[in-house]
Amino acid sequence: MILPTKHIPPHKALISISAEVFALVGSQSTTSSIWNQFQYNRRAVHKEDISFDWFILALDFLYLIGAIEENNGLLVRVQRNVD
């Protein structure tokens, strides 16, 4: 489910979907604005839709690995200090 398998092609694996979603997260991103842009991109590139459930799983995955966080109702990328 997270990684591609024999039955899940790479463009439908959760890690690939999460990467696409992460690319859409900006400084003023709401869940609905990311969802709308994600749907538009998926239809243009892959000619198919991904369910809202998979989109939410991608957001959950990004949150769990510490890549995004919620700040006053907006989704933002986590900035890491590398020393």
Q: Would you state the pLDDT for residue 82?
A: 75
Asked whether residue 4 is domain-assigned, the answer is no
Asked whether residue 69 is domain-assigned, the answer is yes
Asked whether residue 3 is domain-assigned, the answer is no
Domain range for 61:
10-77
Q: Would you state the pLDDT for residue 75?
A: 94
Q: Is 63 exposed, middle or buried (0-12, 13-18, 19+ CB in 10 A)?
A: middle
Strand partners, 69: 76
Q: What is the CATH number of the domain that holds 42?
A: 1.10.10
Q: Would you state the pLDDT for residue 83?
A: 66
Largest CA distance in the chain: 42
One digit per residue, the tens of pLDDT, for the chain of length 83 reads 688 888 888 888 999 999 999 999 987 899 999 999 999 998 888 788 889 999 999 999 999 999 999 999 999 999 887 76
Q: State the DSSP string of 25-78.
A: --TTB-HHHHHHHHHHHHHHHTSS---HHHHHHHHHHHHHTTSEEEETTEEEEP
